[in-house]
Chain A
């Protein structure tokens, strides 16, 4: 008995050191650190040894080498003599472009389908269900390959392309549309646009203040839209249309001029957006269903119309549930663009792959690619977390 009640000082001395929790924690951590250091040392020494036997140097100098391969689509001018670094930048831009288009498109389709699935209309809600279940249970790669074959094989060739009013052309070489070419006076239109936006913000502030003071409502959305659209259009009509449209025209074997959406990019955008939209639709549906029906009933009891109930009561609450899983879907879009390699869209992954084959610099190339994706993931989650905080419930 005397030994047990010896007090804290005697206690720690009485037990063996490997039964002391603090010492055990320290031991575990030392073991983990030792394991990690050993693993890194093992990998690094082997890699250096292997690279020496292969005769491959280590360093980023290869980025300045002329690439010697061309890419089919790029936002910045590139040719056969461009450096590898420049092509990698082009690939990064291509990935970002595809990601941005897919995020916008899949969010739009996803919200639409998610709401339609909850619609009281039997047919449309069943159709939405069929869409979601059909799309999300088939691997993305199968869908992308399918769309690619469908677009390349079933769209007509250039000479028989489907034209919309001789302005937009659909063919197996992609979608061609007119390109706006700004003329000298175009800057004035831009100024008008800026003024329009400023006026819209002014109207919003004034209308809010008036509603708080008098309770009278003002059609903010409509008048703001009018200010933003009408002013620039009016100015450009007065100036005599300072934008000229460059129409795509058939020359030889392909169209010249205009904006082109290549079949590869079109496939990626269509396939990835349709795929991700199915997941977003489920997230949206879950978010809206999670809002208790009492909220809707209370809003009706206050006399709000269904559209306002949705906009003022349901959606702000549902967004809090929707945004975190939506973030991971956006991250998935960014990561899934790498499947573009299978359909020959020159994204970062396929350019890094080619560059790796050409230079043999495995470590550096893969480090660049992984670094890029980690950075992109970080930026997307940071932005979505910021948005999430902004719409979060403000509690006392």
Chain B
């Protein structure tokens, strides 16, 4: 390995390489480049350090170190119910969450029947996984499962009857109700949204007009007014004596609302399909519905998957509004907990727990949507 050129000294006399100057590499150089490169940057760095110092330690102190995590012994032995006085003042009261977790998750759903809820959501999870990330040849089966078999099965599981103990919808609540509303919204709104989008892109002027009016009116008003309207007006719209329960009314309202947004997402996907695809399909002699079903929609829907997931995330957050028409979803269940005389003054911990749960759900969904976007970016995305 000895070098024979004249310019380099022989191995034994050669000194080891000096490390690069600390101003060019290493943490100090990194800080110089990224934190202190200009006067403005120095100011910004100082402001951020101050903000972090002011916010992070108190929040950690409140949420972790000063928080109460375990029940006192007399509560564990069952001598008295837990209450706010078991929690240290000045810290988060996670006892409230621990004591009522079952209710937050399942509402008033009877204890021995809760496996049915878990089973039906597991089925839903399998369906969603199969549709979005599952093996391609099975997608059609998964679609039929998710849009036809799953709703019927889970309706039977949740509602009961035919051998299972019936559980009236008044007992549904908590996170389970949130998921029911969100899943019904997505399962129903996708087909309706596709029809509305096709109608809006249709060449038939009256069909187009009707679809545009429905989409724009629904998108022009807030969700809460749509829900309010479904809650109050639906009984008026139906023949006398026909009673619809509150959950069903809310589901009608929310489905209508998400469908309008879904229609716009799908329309975006339809617009991204090159005209040649339509012309090619027509040249093959396909009629309108065969062309849409076999050629256009499979491509358009694939492009719109990230948009559909984003709409779903938005809608998942919006399900909290059902608490304003009196349904006990996750948020409202937590809120109802404060009304208990044992837990007066626990609001901040309760809302923090709510926020954390919603954050985990929405953040993971948005990451998944980003991953799908990258995966589906296959080159022929747009002309």
Measured CB to CB, the residues of A under 8 A from B are: 25, 28-29, 32-33, 36, 42-43, 46-47, 49-51, 53, 116, 119-124, 127, 133-134, 136-143, 145-146, 149-150, 153, 331, 335-336, 338-339, 341-342, 349, 353, 356, 362-363, 366, 369-370, 373-374, 377-378
Contacts and interface: CB of A to CB of B under 8 A. Distances in A.
Closest 10 CB pairs of A and B: A335-B222, A137-B362, A139-B317, A377-B220, A122-B34, A123-B48, A146-B351, A141-B320, A29-B206, A139-B320
Among B221, B232, B359, B363, residue most surrounded by chain A Cβ atoms (within 10 Å): B221
Contacts, number: 154
A43 B331 contact: no
6 contacts: A120-B37, A134-B359, A143-B355, A356-B232, A373-B225, A378-B220
A143 B355 CA distance: 8
A25 B224 CA distance: 37
B354 interface: yes
B91 interface: no
A281 to B, nearest CB: 15
A189 to B, nearest CB: 36
A150 B229 contact: no
Contacts of B228: 349, 353, 366
Given A32-B207, A46-B239, A335 B44 contact: no
B224 A339 contact: yes
B54 interface: no
Given A143-B355, A153-B347, A362-B233, A127 B362 contact: no
A150 B350 CA distance: 12
B362 A28 contact: no
**Size category of the binding interface on chain B:** 35 or more
Contacts of A341: 224, 324
Among A29, A49, A356, residue most surrounded by chain B Cβ atoms (within 10 Å): A29
B153 to A, nearest CB: 29
Contacts of B210: 32, 36
A142 to B, nearest CB: 5
B222 to A, nearest CB: 4
A50 B240 contact: yes
Contacts of A138: 317, 355, 358-359, 362
Given A146-B348, A366-B225, A378-B220, A51 B35 contact: no
B45 to A, nearest CB: 6
B382 interface: no
A349 B320 contact: no
B323 interface: yes
Contacts of A123: 35, 44-45, 48-49, 52
B72 to A, nearest CB: 25
A373 B351 contact: no
B37 A46 contact: no
B233 A366 contact: yes
Interface string B231-256: 01101111110000000000000000
B232 A362 contact: yes
Interface string B17-49: 000000000000000001101000100110111
A361 B279 CA distance: 53
A46 B320 contact: no
B133 to A, nearest CB: 21
Contacts of A139: 317-318, 320, 331, 358
B374 interface: no
Contact of B35 (A116, A121, A331): A121
Nearest to A50: B236
Contact of A137 (B206, B240, B324, B358): B358
B321 interface: yes
Contacts of B35: 121-123
